[in-house]
Structure formats: structure tokens, C-alpha cells
Amino acid sequence: MRVVVIGGTGHIGTYLAPSLVEAGHETVVISRGTQKAYRDDDRWQDVEMVVCDREASERDGTFGTTVAGLKPDAVMDLTCFTPDQARQLVEALDGQHLIHTGTVWSYGASALVPTREDAPKHPYGEYGVNKLAVEQYLMTQDRVRASVVHPGHISGPGWMAINPQGNLDPGVIDRLREDGSCLLPDRGGETIHHVHAEDVAGLHQACLDNSDQAVGESFNSVCTEALTLRGYAELVARHFGHEPKLEFAPWAEFEQRVDPEAAQATMEHIGRAPMFSMAKAKDLLGFEPKHSVVDTVLESLDAWVATNRP
């Protein structure tokens, strides 16, 4: 098939575009042309690159027609964040399989875990609310055949993974490397749910390869297990050769002791208590993640340390 990938040089596209080429698909990547894929792969030479600033072309109403003009059999939209963006694209297409990248944040706070795709959704925050609105639109329109993939905390070599404190403060990793110490909120029992970018790409491709089963469906995309903050901190401390030295503080104290931006990020992550089921992808598409959560976070952290620390 001729497959157009929108935003194909980021976390997911780094793995997705070469994999589509390997599978024999005629692969077209639309990007702004300002970012290089996170890893080298000879298969990129067989990818047709189209430079397009999505936001600018959406403002002048030409983005959807640009995508349609590439004559795709399927479209994978990795960078759609609002219903208006989805609508402009869909209204220019005609019958293609559209695979949209959603987010587990569209669920809101987890209640029954592991959370399945049929769980009630009560998102909060602009990102989650908009992503749910996109999914609802795609599942009710009749111009394209739609599937939605909901990633957790996308991780991999080339960028910082969500750390054991539930944020992106590099100092958390530095202290775990130095002596195994880490400050955690409450008792460290909250969960965060990572996924390797290669597995997110793999699930997008599984939707393409099993379109009859995937159309009209949404799928979680996470590792088969989630980490608690405490378990994650212990894992990283020991990975760097230290016995864990964990300190626990009630949320009010924790919030005062860390950077305000880090505290906000921690609450945004742990407040949703994310832990999701991958059973549906296995049952309908025969898809299972290749990467365990332990391998995912350690590979990501090792790569980050190798690049960013002496």
C-alpha cells in the first residue's frame, strides 16, 4: 500500500517509517523538515519525504488537500491534537484507513485497573479532553475508516523518559546515579505506564495489517506491566550500582521540596494512576509489545545518560 505518515520523524515515526518500508509499503513522510529521526536506518533512503508545516497549511485550509494529493491508501496521523485538525484532514480524504495517535490521557483517572478500552472516559486538562473529542469524531464520521492507538508514556533512546518521580527533572536521575537516593511522594505506590516507541509504531502497523479487525476500534499501547514509583526508583538505583535510599514525603511536603514545574508534572502523571490492559490488541490483532517495561526505561535512561552526562 501507499502509506502517508504525518509527523513521521518523531518518537513513533523514527521506528514506524523504516518498518513500513521493510514490510513493502510505499512510504511517504510529511514533516516540517526541522527534525531528524532519533536513530539511523538505511531504509530511510526509500522513504519519500514531503516538507509541510502542518499548522501553517491548516491556517490557510490546504493541509487536508495536500495529504489527499499524495494519493494514499492509508494515512497514519501522529500529530493531530484537536477535532478541527482531524476534521480538515478527514473531509479531504475518501475511504482511506486513517490510523490516529491518541493518548491514554483521554481516559482521565483510572478507576478499575488494568484499564480496558471500553472503560468510561472522564479526561481533564486540554490535551486529554481534545484527544477524546478527536476519537469521538473519528468514530462517528463516515468518510474514512478509522482506528485509534492510545500510547502511554512513550520512551526510547534519544529523549528523557518519565523518571521515578513521575516527571522530567534530570536531577532525579543524577541523584540515583550518584548514590541511589530519591524523594518520592506519599509511599511511592502510584503507577506510571511506559511504552517503547518501537511498540507504539508496531501497534500502528498492526492496525494497518489487520484493517478489517482494527477499523472502528481503539487500542491501548503500553508495556504489559506498569511500574510503581517506588519499584522504578529501586530498579534505577540498583541499575547504577547502589542500594536504594528512598525518602517518602506526604504530598504537601513533597510539593514544597521539589521544583514547582516538576511537582506539577508529577501530579499530572500520578494523579491519573495510569495502568492499562493490552489484551484487546492481542485478541483482535495478535499484537504483543516486544519490550518489557524494565528494558524500556533502562534503555531510554542509559541512552540519555550516554548523551547528556560525562
Taking the CA atoms of 151, 156, 160 and 165 in sequence, report the sign of the dihedral they define: positive
In angstroms, the Cα distances linking 289 to 14, 196, 277, 292 are: 17, 8, 12, 7
> What mean pLDDT comes out for the span 157-186?
97
| CATH topology match: 2-156+194-225+276-285 vs 170-191+226-273+293-308 | no
Give the right CATH number for 170-191+226-273+293-308 from 3.90.25, 3.30.1230, 2.40.128, 3.10.170: 3.90.25
pTM for this predicted structure: 0.97
Contact 16, 196 (CB under 8 A): no
Length of the chain: 310
Domain 2-156+194-225+276-285 class, CATH top level: alpha beta
Residue recorded with cell 481516559: 107
Bridging pattern class, strands 2-6 and 191-192: unpaired
The pLDDT of 78-106, averaged and rounded, is: 98
- Give the pLDDT mean for 130-159: 98
pLDDT of residue 46: 97
> Which residue in this structure is represented by grid cell 541511589?
180
Give the pLDDT confidence score for residue 154 in this predicted structure: 98
Q: Please confirm whether the linkage preceding 151 is cis (ω < 30° from 0).
A: no
What is the tens place of the pLDDT at every residue in 10-65?
999 999 999 999 999 999 999 998 788 898 899 999 999 999 999 999 999 999 99
Cell 493490552 belongs to residue: 278
For residue 186, what is its C-alpha cell? 506519599
pLDDT band at 166 (very low <50, low <70, confident <90, very high): very high
Looking at the DSSP assignment, which residues form a beta bridge with residue 97?
Answer: 74, 145
- Average pLDDT of span 2-11: 96
Q: Would you list the domain boundaries of the chain?
A: 2-156+194-225+276-285, 170-191+226-273+293-308
Q: Give the pLDDT of residue 35.
A: 82
For residue 310, the model assigns a pLDDT of 80
